[in-house]
Amino acid sequence: MKLNPWEVTEIEDYSKLFEEFGIEPFSEILERIPEPHRLMRRGVIFGHRDYERILEAMERKMPFAVMSGFMPSGKIHLGGKMVMEEIIWHQKMGADAYVAIADMEAHSVRGLSWEKCKEIGIEEYVLSLIALGFEPRGRIYFQSASLEVKDLAFELGTEVTLSEMIAIYGFSGETHASHMFSVLVQAADILHPELEEFGGPKPVIVPVGADQDPHLRLTRDLADRMNKFLIERRGDYISVRGKGVSPEEIEGLARLIPFEKKVYEGHVDVFQGEMEEIKKIVQDFELSSGGYAFIPPSSTYHRFMTGLLGGKMSSSKPESYIALTDPLEEAKRKVMRAKTGGQGTVEKQRELGGKPEECVVFELFRYHLIEDDDELLRIYEECISGERLCGDCKKLAGELLVSWLKDHQEKREQARDLLREYEVVGWKS
C-alpha cells in the first residue's frame, strides 16, 4: 500500500497500516486517557505513533504542544472539523497549540493564488477553528508569513535527498521544486514548536488523517538526523553518540554525566542512571552548544469520512460532503439523499435489519452528531434488529445537523469580531 498525501485514495483496511507502517492501535492506550474525546472513544481515531509521550506530559503536567495544518484550497467540511476538534481538545488538556494554514502547499501543489489562499484560509478555516473553541493563546499562522518555519524548512533540506523524496512521495522528474519544498515546510511546521523561540524541545502531537503519515515518517527521521547526539540503550548500558561533534565536546558532555561511564572519541557509554535523566543532560548540553535536541513528533490518525453518496469524499464534489458553511437547507437536502445501510423496502428492513457499518447516516451520528454513547448504541441496536427505518434516521440526522450548523455559523460570525484577539501571523484585516 502507498499513501499519497495529495491524491487521497480510499483506505479499505486500516489494520494494514499497523503492519506496514508501524502505526500503533489507539485502542491500546485509550484507557489511560481520563476523559477521551468522542472520536477517540468511537475508534474514529484508530492509530498513533508515540502517543505515550503525550499521555505522560498530560499526566505530569509537563509542557507539550499540539500542531496541525490545513491546506486552504476548498471548503472547510466535516473532515476538517475532526482535526480542529482534536487540536482544541489537546489545547484544553494543556497543550500549546499551533495551526498552520498551508498556503505554500496550496500555492505550489494546487496552483492557488496567494490572495485566494489568504481568503480561504481566514474565511473557511480560521473562522471555524475559532468558532469550535480554539483559544487565543494558540498560534495560527500562514506558512508564507513565518520566517522561523521557512528558515527551518531550508535547514531541514540539508538532510533530505532527491532519492528519498522520490521513495517516500513517488515524485518524478516532472515534480516541481516548490512542491518538494512544501514538504520541507510541512516538516518545519511540525518541528518549529520545539525551537528555542517557541520554548524549546517538547513532545508535540500532530493529529492528522492517515494520508499524512508519509510526512510524519519523514519528519520523525529528520528530528533524529538534525540532532547532534543519538541516545540509545544497548543491552546494559546507554550509548550517547555524537554526529560531527569534536572530542572536546564529547568530553565536555561526559563531565556533566554524573554516572559511571567510558569516554571515547565520538561517543560516551554510560553504565548507570535512568534513560530519562541522561536524555535531559544530553538535551541541555546540545541546546547550550547550538543544537536542536528535537524530540520526534507524536501523531494520531483518524479515519476518513465516507462520501455522502458512498465512495470517497472529494473536495471537487460538493454533494459528497457537508461544508460547515453550507446553507442549512442545502445541508439538510444532502443528508436526505445520503446513502444508508438500509434494505430498500420496509418489509425487508423489518425482517433483516439494516447495516449501520455501511451507512453514511450512521457515520454522521457516530463521528459528529451524537455525543452520548448510549444513545448511539441504541440507534445501532434498533437498526440491526429492524426496529428502525432509514427515514427516521435521516429525519433525526437532518435536525441535529441543521441545529448544529446554525449554532456553528452564528459562532463563526462572532469569531469574525474576535479575530483581532488572536495572533494570526500573516493576516491583516
The contact set with ligand SF4 (CB under 6 A) reads 340-342, 354-356, 359, 361-362, 383, 388-390, 393
Minimum separation from the CB atom of position 261 to ligand TRP (A) = 38
Cβ atoms of 148 and 110 closer than 8 Å: no
Minimum separation from the CB atom of position 72 to ligand TRP (A) = 9
Q: Which is nearer to ligand TRP, 208 or 424 (CB)?
A: 208
**Residue 86 found at the interface with ligand TRP (CB under 6 A):** no
Distance of alpha carbon 303 from alpha carbon 313, whole angstroms: 12
Grid coordinates representing 215?
Answer: 510526512
Identify what 71 binds: ligand SF4, ligand TRP, none; CB under 5 to 8 Å per kind. Answer: ligand TRP
Cβ atoms of 283 and 293 closer than 8 Å: yes
Contacting residue, 47, 69, 79, 138, with ligand TRP by CB under 6 A:
69
Grid coordinates representing 84?
Answer: 480542529
The residue count for binding ligand TRP (CB under 6 A) is 15
Distance of alpha carbon 71 from alpha carbon 429, whole angstroms: 21
Identify what 286 binds: ligand TRP, ligand SF4, none; CB under 5 to 8 Å per kind. Answer: none
Q: Give bridge partners of residue 97 from the DSSP assignment.
A: 66
**Residue 103 found at the interface with ligand TRP (CB under 6 A):** no
Nearest to 418 by CA among 161, 127, 44: 127
Q: Which is nearer to ligand SF4, 201 or 354 (CB)?
A: 354
Minimum separation from the CB atom of position 117 to ligand TRP (A) = 12
Of the candidate spans 61-69, 261-269, 376-384, 404-412, the one that interacts with ligand TRP by CB under 6 A turns out to be 61-69
For the segment 198-257, give every residue that binds ligand TRP (CB under 6 A): 206, 208, 212
Q: Which is nearer to ligand SF4, 191 or 389 (CB)?
A: 389
Minimum separation from the CB atom of position 348 to ligand SF4 (A) = 12
Of the candidate spans 100-108, 163-171, 281-289, 421-429, the one that interacts with ligand TRP by CB under 6 A turns out to be 100-108
Q: Which is nearer to ligand TRP, 5 or 341 (CB)?
A: 5
Contacting residue, 71, 97, 322, 383, with ligand TRP by CB under 6 A:
71
* Residues forming the site for ligand TRP (CB under 6 A): 5, 67-71, 100, 102, 105, 186, 189-190, 206, 208, 212
